[in-house]
Amino acid sequence: MVREIKQEQKELYQCEECEFKYAEKEWAEKCEAWCKEHKSCNLEITEHAIKESTLPEKQEG
Ligand SMILES: [Zn+2]
């Protein structure tokens, strides 16, 4: 079940499997359906995920 969350006064939809967040429920549902079936993420779907730019992230390269 896609989870609706509020972040920065915007509604986001989160895939409960991989916890990626999407602005559009449609993508979150696609992601979740894929994640459940394949137990992995589809890059073409996760491309549409909201990037957590507010969190300090360590990136290599
Ligand atoms: Zn997912």
Distance in Å, CA 11 to ligand 1 centroid: 17
Position 8 scores a pLDDT of 79
How far apart, in Å, are the Cα atoms of 6 and each of 3, 21, 22?
Answer: 10, 11, 11
Average pLDDT over residues 22-48: 96
- Confidence grade of residue 3 (pLDDT, cut at 50, 70, 90): very high
Integer-rounded Cα Rg, in Å, for the chain is: 12
AA identity, residue 23? A
54, 45 contact by CB (below 8 A):
no
Position 60 scores a pLDDT of 66
Distance in Å, CA 35 to ligand 1 centroid: 5
Distance in Å, CA 38 to ligand 1 centroid: 10
Average pLDDT over residues 6-28: 93
Position 22 scores a pLDDT of 96
Instruction: Please determine, for residue 39, whether its predicted confidence score (pLDDT) is greater than 80.
Output: yes
> How far, in Å, CA of 29 to CA of 11, rounded?
15
